[in-house]
Homo-oligomer: A and B are copies of this chain.
Amino acid sequence: MTPVLSFLGPVGTYSDVASLACAQQWQQENGTHLDRCPYPSIPQVLKSVEEGEAHFAIVPVENSTEGSVTVTLDTLWQLDMLQIQQAWTLPISHALISRAASVDEIHAIYSHPQALAQCQEWLASNLPNAKLVPTRSTTEALQYLDQPSIAAIASRHAAEIYQIPVVAHPINDQKDNRTRFWVLGMEQSRVGTHTSLALSLPANVPGALLKPLEIFASRGLNLSRIESRPTKRSLGEYIFFLDVEADLSNPLMSSALDEIRPHTETLKTFGSYSILHVENLLDV
């Protein structure tokens, strides 16, 4: 049976590009095909693996301009079985896509709120009067392009698939705009350059975060990321997501986790993995 990789659809999203990169690498490493299957939301992408519909899921975790994809972190905290197998970072380079003959014709711009936010300075300079309309994905926006007065913001990959012209590219304000993705599956993953974990603290004492940080620091284990998310129980109670630069097979890591556990309410590890970087989307 060909294994299946689930991703956030529809076809043409940046998640689709990331899933293509992942399937290509699978083919190179295993000599076999990896099927790809789109799902309509990030929780559904992740649950598809727990429910046995897919073998792997690829989801966005963090963007260099907009920060965390909070629904990914929140869903992962709720689920119990998924482990990160691999991470990818992809350049995010937005195109203005429209049937307009020139930019002046454009009166409304449709896109995912994160894409609109990532192009806000370019839009303020070049299309200050255009109406900005949020959509659920960058490619959902392409459905509205029958009229030349409407434009979408999406990848050049999406413009190619849907065969609609690119009016301007790149239009993102930060040129070094990248998104990190995680590939998750049910296999235990204990080897790689990074480990992700999350913890909640026993009392309503966020100062208690100091203890876990000291325990990692005392072993020379560096944290490459700290992110807080609400517990959703009460304002001021947090879950902390940490990325540590060491893997679970490292004895220092095991001893750090053993020492940290009694200081937490809940401690979850999401596996160890290495990070692959894609430099040019057109290479995918």
B residues near A66, Cβ cutoff 8 Å: 70, 230
Q: Quick check: A226 and B209 within 8 Å, CB to CB?
A: yes
A65 at the interface (CB under 8 A from B): yes
Q: Quick check: A232 and B70 within 8 Å, CB to CB?
A: no
Give me 17 A-to-B residue pairs in the complex whose CB atoms sit less than 8 angstroms apart, sorted by A's number: A62-B235, A64-B236, A65-B230, A67-B228, A67-B230, A134-B135, A134-B136, A174-B232, A174-B233, A205-B222, A206-B226, A207-B216, A209-B213, A209-B226, A210-B217, A225-B238, A226-B228
Q: Which residue of B lies closest to A217 (CB)?
A: B210
Using A228-B225, A228-B226 as known contacts, say yes or no to A64 and B235 having CB atoms under 8 A apart.
Answer: yes
Copies of this chain, tallied across the complex: 2
A223 at the interface (CB under 8 A from B): yes
A53 at the interface (CB under 8 A from B): no
Q: How large is the interface on A (under 10, 10 to 19, 20 to 34, 35 or more residues)?
A: 35 or more
Q: Quick check: A235 and B89 within 8 Å, CB to CB?
A: yes
Q: Which residue of B lies closest to A240 (CB)?
A: B226
With A206-B226, A225-B236 known, 19 other A-B pairs at CB within 8 A are A64-B230, A64-B234, A65-B232, A67-B229, A67-B230, A113-B113, A113-B134, A132-B136, A174-B232, A176-B234, A179-B235, A206-B222, A206-B225, A210-B214, A210-B217, A224-B236, A225-B238, A226-B238, A227-B228
Task: Give min CB distance, A136 to chain B, whole Å.
Answer: 7
Q: How far, in whole Å, are A226 and B209 apart by their CA atoms in the complex? A: 9
B residues near A226, Cβ cutoff 8 Å: 206, 209, 226, 228, 238, 240
Q: Give 1 or 0 for each of A49-69: 1 = CB within 8 Å of chain B CB.
A: 000000000000011111100
B residues near A213, Cβ cutoff 8 Å: 209-210, 213
Q: For chain A residues 181-234, which have a beta carbon within 8 Å of chain B?
A: 205-207, 209-210, 213-214, 216-217, 222-230, 232-234
Q: For chain A residues 109-135, which have a beta carbon within 8 Å of chain B?
A: 113, 117, 132, 134-135
A180 at the interface (CB under 8 A from B): yes
